[in-house]
Amino acid sequence: MSLPLQNLFDIKCLLDKIDIQLCCRTENGIKQLLALVTDEGDIVLHYVYGELSAVVKRLSWFNESGKKIQAICFDPTCTWLLVIAIDSSLYIIPALSLVDKRQRVDCKWSVTDLTHFCKPPSTSDSKPLSVVWWQTLDCNQNALVGYEDGIIALVSLTDGRCLATCNIGDAVTRLYLCQDNSLDCVSLLINGESGQQWRLILEQHSTSYIWPPEVNASLTDSATSRLLSLKQIGAEKLASLKQRFEGRSGRRDSQASDSPSDSSSHSDTLHVGPELLPHLCDTFFAPQYARNRYLFSAFYKPTCLLTIHAVDIESAPLYVHKLPCQTNYLLLTNRLIYSIKDELNVLSIISTQLSECRLDGDVCLMLLIYSIIDAIYKSNL
């Protein structure tokens, strides 16, 4: 059965005639901020406050080749934009103040100019590829920078010092901050160029643990025990999820045949560095935020199944969805799932309700997909 898709969605052009190289977005209450980096190196801010008209502001950037923008991200309060250049220097832009002078801003940094930190001497000399803003549970402001040589650097956004580094041995293509709904544990999900993923526990408030351990006093025996318990639970849930995928799909990956005892022994050691996640037959993990809670998605590529879990990966998924084939990236919202197929340059918009299915992948309800092919879209502008 076909539906008149043109009546389902109203696509509005926000910006045109720009070649987008990088982007990031944040939302806090009724504030929404979008930042784009153009092929000319400029930054475009798109701001929406409630039902008011959108504000668009274009910022010129440095012309020097060493200042080419490599990655961008917002802080959690939807106030500051963090930029890392190819020379590993960091810049904090007062994004909110530039687009809405009525908003009150906690002036940790300049609201009228760039705040600049030079490359810390102890960081990697390779190309930075990704960056995230980490506000600790005690409100310390840090940047986590991923490099082409596999180094991840923790840099203070107070004085620009490099506080710690670790290495995954693979180019760091993407970094995600993951947080549980009790606001107790924060971890870093790391994507490598090879397709593998790592997890680094950054802090656990209940045990007073923070990475790197040298930042705070040594863990007590009690705190160490509780952190080990957290990791043990995570390994067991991942193993359970792995068994579910293998049982439903009828296929078994050669790397997924470890016995439970191997998984258990692996988590018996306290890891203060990145921990490689089990390779679950082409399963891609990502943090999500929807329905007023932090969630964790696992997309199983062979069957195109998307399972949604609590951040600690509960034994059973909260929801299961069937997505289009060749999905590369996805974003979960309250009612819709947005997915991108890079090779085909296609955006799909999928109903969360109508795409729900059982874990074996049987779908009795249709998917609502609205595909936008770049060539067609541009021809209609």
- SS3 for 137? coil
Residue 228 lies in a domain: no
Q: Which residues of 100-112 are buried (b: 16+ CB within 10 A; e: fewer)?
A: eeeeeeeeebebe
Q: What pLDDT is recorded for position 329?
A: 86
- The radius of gyration of the chain's CA atoms, rounded to the nearest angstrom, is 22
Mean pLDDT of 179-193: 90
Q: What percent of the chain has pLDDT over 90?
A: 49
Instruction: Kindly report whether the peptide bond that precedes residue 212 is cis, defined as omega within 30 degrees of 0.
Output: yes
Q: What is the pLDDT of residues 219-248, one digit of tens each?
A: 444 455 555 555 555 555 555 555 554 554
Of the ranges 68-82, 221-235, 351-365, the best mean pLDDT one:
68-82
Mean pLDDT of 280-284: 73
Q: Output the domain CATH number for residue 70.
A: 2.130.10.10
Q: What pLDDT is recorded for position 225?
A: 53
Contact (CB, 8 A) for 118 and 89: yes
- Whether residue 374 is predicted with pLDDT greater than 80 in this model: the reply is no
Q: How confident is the model at residue 180 (pLDDT cuts 50, 70, 90)?
A: confident
Q: What pLDDT is recorded for position 140?
A: 94
pTM tops 0.85: no
Distance from C-alpha of 126 to C-alpha of 145, rounded to nearest angstrom: 11
Residue 159 lies in a domain: yes
State how far the alpha carbon of 290 is from the alpha carbons of 181, 207, 295, 318, 333, in Å: 12, 28, 7, 12, 5
Q: What pLDDT is recorded for position 62?
A: 95
Contact (CB, 8 A) for 255 and 279: yes
Q: What is the pLDDT of residues 92-132, one digit of tens each?
A: 999 999 999 999 888 889 999 999 999 999 899 999 999 99
Residue 212 lies in a domain: no
Q: Write the single-letter amino acid at 199.
A: R
Number of domains in the chain: 1
Q: What percent of the chain has pLDDT over 70?
A: 74
Q: What pLDDT is recorded for position 316?
A: 75
Distance from C-alpha of 228 to C-alpha of 221, rounded to nearest angstrom: 11
Q: Which residues of 265-293 are buried (b: 16+ CB within 10 A; e: fewer)?
A: ebbeeebbebbbbbbbbebbbbbbebeee
Q: Poorest-confidence range of 50-59, 68-77, 316-325, 372-381?
A: 372-381
Contact (CB, 8 A) for 116 and 81: no
Q: Who has greater pLDDT, 148 or 256?
A: 148
Specify the length of the chain in residues. Answer: 381
Q: What is the pLDDT of residues 298-339, one digit of tens each?
A: 998 888 899 998 866 655 788 999 998 888 889 999 999 999
Q: What is the pLDDT of residues 248-273, one digit of tens each?
A: 444 434 333 333 333 333 333 345 78
Phi and psi at residue 284, in whole multiples of 5°? -110, 125
Residue 269 lies in a domain: no
Residue 68 lies in a domain: yes
Q: Structural domain of residue 96, as residue ranges?
A: 13-167
Output the average pLDDT for the chain: 80
Residue 263 lies in a domain: no
Contact (CB, 8 A) for 332 and 287: no
- SS3 for 372? strand
Residue 99 lies in a domain: yes
Residue 148 lies in a domain: yes
